[in-house]
């Protein structure tokens, strides 16, 4: 239920009138509302048609209306719960609208497939036609031909395997390749095959070429050319993207955790695609920018998300804000009275500015409070940590692995689960207190701790290894599935992205509670010069500064 | 910085202290020394002989020699391209009781020294 994503088909429409878009926005907003209601973790929404409800999506929709093309977020996908009749009709309408785009996508794939099939069968046709058509006139060809036959067979096999590996795989995010390069390659193959057929038709079929060896060599040359085209495809589609060209800085908006990554020529742009997230379920992507008809891939976004899940420490909402005691003082009231006309819009900004300025000028010692609070918290955490470590160490001394030659009463022999349960009691309290102090307790249930303990006991891990999981916040992937299973990620970008990463692009990957801000920078161009240093040239002298008195 | 000060002629009468004739100042520099360590020179590649210390009440101070002065000549002998030891020898010749020095000093330096001494 958590991994559903929402379907919306209007994103690719561009150039429609604003009023109809507004209508569509609104209509879409309450379709999304019905999804929200069923998800159950966010607000409960009760909608009446035509009423926009306030949550992030709806506010974004307002912005969309005002600044057309600034940020649009659309989510795609399917959901499995019940929908109202209105929704059904709306979806049906949108389905019809979306058919052309799907058609074009499938068309491309189909064209590529037929071309590949054609080019694969062509050499075979070249080889088979002469014996079929003019067998009597054909000169028999000896061992050279047989060698050529074998080479043709193997080369075709290699081509088959290579094409399968390159073009027909299902990566985790099954996104189509670079569109332009693919088209270029298809055109190249098409031209190649057509020209070969032309020559074949004129020189061999019409002239009824007698020497079969020549025909075979002709076919072999075609297969070689196809192999070279395949090599070109590998270089263009794979290798070109490997060289790092850009550095991405990914910052989490809530707590500033940041990482730097190097990427090659990848696309991050916009597409109505279905990506697969790490657990193989369908993940909804959204699109940004106007002119959404253009097909790009979300490769960089997916790649970044993968890295996010295993590099960034888990998002802990409890650790975000300053403790209330520090901030509470700030909320002392400055009352602002407005004299004169009641122009509310003017006054509100003026009022808030006045309040802020006055508060800033006032001498307050909240930084002091913050510092002492922090120090106190540190001390508390360290104390609890020490208690925990000691408790765990002691607990682990109570059990040991049963050696083969020892004879023990069957009642005393335990399996790992029982052993874990036996020693858990002595460290439970210390563990609980520690987790509560570091605000990690939502991430570790008692069951999970027991399981981890059992795991560590089974593999002969030391107490320190057992504690490694709790003493530091790990990456999101470490915790239970419900925590990190991707729900909805939204790609938001201000610029209309057409062809991929450029220097200075900033885009957002949004979740409900936080977002990842990604900014790109081009890797600088290094100019390296060489200098040869003769080892004999290292010579030194003493520094003399004598001072003589006369 | 002001106008450059023209070279001064300083005449020092050596003081007899037991066996030795002393002049009451210390020198630093020389072509065999490291010129970048010289705190008094304007040009840090200058390998000339500089006065690094003037003892109080000594003959040099009485004669008007100041710290930071560059010694160009001693009794007509050139001091701008000599080693440290050669310079010492030329200043401490037992046969001479009076040495006449040609010194230059930087005018800014003079102002700084004066402010330091006062």
CA–CA min distance B113, chain A (Å) = 20
For residue B101, what are its two tokens?
A: 């020095």
Q: Which residues of A touch B22 (CB under 8 A)?
A: 549-550
- Confidence (pLDDT) at A62: 41
Q: Residue range A204-229: average pLDDT?
A: 87
Q: What percent of chain A lies above the pLDDT cut of 70?
A: 63
How does residue A379 score in pLDDT terms, banded at 50, 70 and 90?
very high
pLDDT band of residue A326 (cuts 50, 70, 90) is low
pLDDT score at A433? 93
CB-CB contact of A106 with A180 (8 Å): no
> Are B52 and B81 a contacting pair, CB within 8 Å?
no
Give A535→chain B minimum CA distance, Å.
Answer: 25
Please name which of B99, B25, B20 lies closest in space to residue B68, comparing C-alpha atoms.
Answer: B25
Backbone torsions φ then ψ of A160, nearest 5 degrees: -60, -50
Q: Which residues of B touch A543 (CB under 8 A)?
A: 34, 37
Contact A29, A58 (CB under 8 A): yes
Degrees, nearest 5: CA angle A355-A360-A364: 120
**In angstroms, what separates the C-alpha of B107 from chain A's closest C-alpha?**
24
CB contact under 8 A, A545 and B88: no
CA B71 to chain centre: 5
* Torsion angles phi and psi, residue A503, rounded to 5: -70, 135
Write down the pLDDT at residue A484.
56
Query: Distances in Å between the alpha carbon of A160 and those of A165, A223, A227, A364, A549?
Result: 9, 11, 10, 74, 93
CB atoms B88 and A548 under 8 Å? yes
**pLDDT band at residue A334 under the 50/70/90 scheme:** low
CA distances to A25, A272, A519 from A237, rounded to whole Å, are 38, 21, 24
What is the rounded distance in angstroms from the CA atom of residue A242 to the CA atom of residue A245? 9
Residue whose tokens read 């230059």: B104
Residues B92, A544: C-beta atoms closer than 8 Å: no
Which pLDDT band holds residue B112 (cuts at 50, 70, 90)?
low
Q: Which of A119-123, A310-314, B12-16 has the lowest mean pLDDT?
A: A310-314
Both tokens of residue A260?
Answer: 């730097």
Whether the predicted pLDDT of A390 surpasses 90: yes
The answer to whether residue B63 scores a pLDDT higher than 80 is yes
Q: Is the pTM of this model over 0.90?
A: no
Q: Residue A67: what pLDDT?
A: 47
Q: Are A74 and A18 spatial neighbours (Cβ–Cβ below 8 Å)? A: no
Mean pLDDT, range A166-192, rounded to an integer? 68
Which residue in the set A543, A544, A548 is minimally distant from B26, CB to CB?
A548
More confident residue, A456 or A360: A456
Structure confidence at residue A173 (pLDDT): 37
Query: pLDDT tens, A73-132?
Result: 444 444 445 455 555 555 555 554 444 455 666 777 788 888 888 888 998 888 888 888
Whether A279 has a pLDDT exceeding 50, the answer reads no
Q: Which residue of A has its CA nearest to B20?
A: A550
Which of B10 and A78 is assigned the larger pLDDT? B10
Per the model's pLDDT, the better-predicted residue between B54 and A510 turns out to be: B54
pLDDT of residue B4: 63
Q: Which pair of structure tokens corresponds to residue B8?
A: 């001064």
Chain B CA closest to residue A549: B26
Q: Are A113 and A39 in contact (CB under 8 A)?
A: no
What are residue A241's phi and psi, to 5 degrees? -90, -5
DSSP code at position A488 = B
Tell me: the pLDDT tens digits for A461-494? Answer: 999 999 988 888 888 777 766 655 566 788 888 7
Closest CA to A49 of A65, A66, A73, A33: A33
Q: What does the block give as tokens for A111?
A: 């064209």
- pLDDT tens column, A225-248: 999 999 998 888 777 666 667 888
Token pair 């992937």 in the structure block, residue: A477
Name the band, by pLDDT with cuts 50, 70 and 90, for residue B2. low
Is the Cβ pair B53, A546 closer than 8 Å? no
d(CA B66, CA B38): 16
Burial class (CB in 10 A: 0-12, 13-18, 19+), A110: exposed
Helix (H) or strand (E) holding A222: helix A212-237
DSSP-assigned letters across all residues of A286-323: ---SS-TTS----HHHHHHHHHHHHHSBPP-GGGSSPP
Contact A545 B37 (CB under 8 A): yes
Query: Residue range B79-106: average pLDDT?
Result: 90
Is the separation of the CB atoms in B52 and B66 below 8 Å? no
| A544 with B33: Cβ contact below 8 A | yes
Which of A540, A545, A546, A550 to probe by mutation at the B interface, max B CB count within 10 Å?
A550
The residue that leads in pLDDT, A389 or A178, is A389
Higher pLDDT, A273 or A444: A444
Q: For the segment A393-437, what is each residue's pLDDT rounded down to a tens digit?
A: 999 998 888 877 777 777 778 888 988 998 999 999 999 999 998
By CB atoms closer than 10 A (0-12, 13-18, 19+), residue A59 is: exposed
Q: What average pLDDT does this structure show over B25-52? A: 88
Q: Contact A163/A186 with Cβ under 8 angstroms?
A: no
Which of A543, A544, A548 faces B27 most closely, judged by CB atoms? A548
Q: CA-CA-CA-CA torsion for A253, A258, A259, A263, nearest 10 degrees?
A: 30
Compute the nearest-CA separation of A540 from chain B (Å). 13
* Chain B CB contacts of A545 below 8 Å: 28, 33-34, 37
Interchain CB distance below 8 Å, B52 and A550: no
Which residue from B27, B30, B34 is facing A543, i.e. has the nearest CB? B34
Q: Are strands A547-549 and B8-13 parallel, antiparallel or unpaired?
A: unpaired
CB within 8 Å: A545 and B23: no
**Residue predicted with more confidence, A529 or A278:** A529
| CA–CA separation, A294 and A272 (whole Å) | 10
Strand ranges (E), A199-327 = 246-252, 258-263, 274-276, 282-284
Residue-wise pLDDT tens digits, A11-43 = 444 444 444 444 444 444 444 444 443 443 433
How far away is chain B from the Cα of A548, in angstroms, using its nearest Cα? 5
Which residues of A have a CB under 8 Å from any CB of B? 543-550
pLDDT band at A338 (very low <50, low <70, confident <90, very high): low
Residue of B nearest to A547 (CA): B28
| Cα–Cα nearest to A158, from A212, A120, A192 | A120
Question: For residue B68, which residues of chain A lie inside 8 Å, CB to CB?
Answer: none
Closest partner residue to B26 (CB to CB) among A543, A544, A549 is A549
Average pLDDT, stretch A137-161?
87
With CB atoms and an 8 Å threshold, state whether A548 touches B33. no
- The pLDDT of residue A29 is 47
Across the interface, of A545, A549, A550, the residue whose CB is closest to B33 is A545
User: Residue A452 and residue A461: Cα distance in Å, rounded?
Assistant: 11
Q: Which residues of B touch A544 (CB under 8 A)?
A: 32-34, 84
The listed range with the strongest mean pLDDT (A367-381, A396-410, A501-515) is: A367-381
**A364 Cβ contact partners less than 8 Å away, ≥ 6 residues apart:** A329, A330
**pLDDT value for A276:** 36
Q: Say if the Cβ atoms of A550 and B88 lie within 8 Å.
A: yes
Chain A and chain B share a number of CB contacts under 8 A equal to 38
Does the pLDDT of residue A57 top 60, yes or no?
no
Q: Which residues of A touch B34 (CB under 8 A)?
A: 543-545
Mutation for A interface: B20, B23, B33, B101, most A CBs within 10 A: B33
**Chain B residues contacting A, CB < 8 Å?**
22-23, 25-28, 30, 32-34, 37, 52-53, 55, 84, 88, 91-92
Structure tokens given for A210: 């007698």
Work out whether the CA dihedral A265, A269, A272, A275 comes out positive or negative: positive
CB atoms within 10 A of CB B58: 19
Nearest alpha-carbon partner for A432 in A371, A388, A368: A388
Q: Who wins on pLDDT, A18 or A303? A: A303
Report angle CA B110, B114, B118 to the nearest 5 degrees: 175
Distance CA A408, CA A420 (A): 19
Angle between helix A366-396 and helix A463-471 axes, rounded to 10 deg: 150
Mean residue pLDDT of chain A comes to 72
pLDDT value, residue A281 = 35
Q: Any idea what the Cα angle at residue A184 is, between residues A181 and A188, rounded to 5°?
A: 140
Which residues from A are below 8 Å from B12, CB to CB? Answer: none
Higher pLDDT, A139 or A185: A185
CB atoms closer than 10 angstroms to residue A466: 20
Closest residue to B92, CB basis, from A543, A545, A550: A550
Query: What's the count of helices (H) and strands (E) in chain B, helices before strands?
Result: 3, 8
Averaged pLDDT for residues B67-85: 92
User: Rounded distance, CA A220 to CA A436, Å?
Assistant: 72
| CA–CA gap between residue A233 and residue A183 (Å, rounded) | 11
User: Which of chain A's residues have a Cβ under 8 Å away from the Cβ of B37?
Assistant: 543, 545
Interface predicted TM-score (ipTM): 0.77
Average pLDDT over residues B101-118: 72
């Amino acid at each position: 239920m958590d991994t559903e994503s929402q379907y919306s088909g209007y994103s690719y429409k561009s150039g429609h009138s604003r009023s109809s878009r507004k209508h569509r926005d609104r209509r879409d907003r309450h379709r999304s509302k019905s999804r929200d209601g069923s998800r159950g973790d966010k607000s409960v929404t009760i909608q009446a048609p035509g009423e926009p409800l306030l949550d992030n999506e709806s506010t974004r929709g307002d912005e969309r209306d005002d600044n057309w093309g600034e940020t649009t977020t659309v989510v795609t996908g399917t959901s499995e719960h019940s929908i109202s009749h209105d929704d059904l009709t709306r979806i049906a309408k949108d389905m019809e609208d979306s058919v052309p785009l799907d058609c074009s996508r499938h068309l491309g794939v189909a064209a590529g497939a037929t071309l590949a099939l054609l080019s694969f069968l062509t050499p075979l046709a070249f080889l088979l036609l002469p014996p079929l058509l003019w067998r009597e006139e054909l000169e028999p060809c000896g061992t050279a031909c047989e060698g050529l036959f074998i080479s043709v067979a193997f080369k075709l096999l290699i081509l088959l395997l290579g094409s399968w590996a390159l073009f027909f795989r299902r990566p985790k995010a099954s996104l189509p390749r670079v569109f332009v390069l693919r088209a270029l390659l298809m055109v190249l193959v098409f031209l190649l095959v057509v020209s070969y057929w032309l020559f074949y038709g004129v020189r061999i079929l019409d002239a009824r070429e007698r020497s079969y060896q020549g025909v075979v060599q002709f076919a072999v040359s075609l297969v070689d050319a196809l192999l070279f085209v395949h090599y070109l495809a590998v270089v263009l589609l794979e290798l070109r993207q490997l060289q790092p060209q850009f550095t991405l800085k990914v910052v989490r908006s809530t707590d500033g955790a940041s990482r730097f990554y190097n990427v090659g020529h990848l696309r991050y742009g916009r597409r109505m695609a279905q990506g697969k997230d790490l657990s193989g379920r369908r993940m909804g992507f959204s699109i940004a920018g106007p002119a959404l008809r253009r097909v790009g891939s979300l490769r960089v976004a997916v790649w970044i998300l993968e890295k996010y899940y295993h590099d960034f420490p888990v998002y802990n909402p409890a650790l975000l804000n300053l403790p209330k005691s520090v901030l509470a003082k700030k909320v002392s009231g400055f009352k602002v009275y407005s004299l004169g006309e009641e122009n509310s819009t003017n006054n509100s900004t003026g009022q808030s500015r006045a309040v802020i300025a006055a508060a800033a000028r006032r001498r307050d010692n909240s930084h002091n409070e913050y510092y002492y609070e922090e120090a106190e918290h540190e001390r508390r955490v360290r104390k609890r940590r020490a208690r925990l470590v000691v408790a765990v160490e002691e607990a682990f001394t109570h059990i040991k692995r049963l050696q083969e030659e020892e004879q023990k009463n069957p009642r005393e022999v335990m399996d790992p689960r029982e052993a874990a349960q036996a020693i858990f009691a002595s460290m439970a309290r210390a563990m609980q207190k520690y987790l509560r102090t570091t605000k990690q307790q939502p991430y570790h249930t008692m069951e999970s701790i027991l399981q981890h303990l059992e795991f560590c006991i089974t593999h002969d891990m030391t107490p320190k290894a057992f504690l490694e999981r709790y003493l530091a916040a790990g990456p999101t992937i470490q915790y239970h599935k419900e925590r990190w299973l991707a729900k909805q990620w939204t790609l938001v970008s201000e610029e209309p992205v057409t062809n991929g990463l450029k220097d200075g692009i900033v885009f957002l990957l949004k979740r409900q509670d936080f977002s990842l801000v990604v900014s790109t920078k081009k890797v600088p161009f290094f100019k390296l010069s060489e200098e040869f240093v003769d080892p004999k040239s290292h010579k030194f002298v003493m520094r003399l500064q004598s001072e003589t008195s006369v | 910085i002001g106008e450059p000060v023209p070279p001064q002629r300083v005449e020092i009468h050596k003081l007899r202290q037991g066996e030795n004739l002393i002049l009451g100042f210390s020198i630093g520099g020389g072509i065999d020394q490291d010129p970048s360590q010289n705190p008094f020179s304007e040009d840090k590649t200058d390998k000339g002989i500089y006065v690094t210390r003037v003892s109080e009440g000594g003959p040099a101070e009485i004669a008007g020699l100041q710290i930071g002065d560059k010694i160009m000549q001693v009794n007509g002998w050139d001091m701008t391209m000599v080693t440290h030891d050669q310079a010492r020898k030329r200043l401490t010749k037992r046969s001479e009781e009076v040495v006449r020095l040609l010194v230059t000093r930087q005018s800014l330096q003079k102002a700084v020294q004066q402010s330091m001494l006062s």
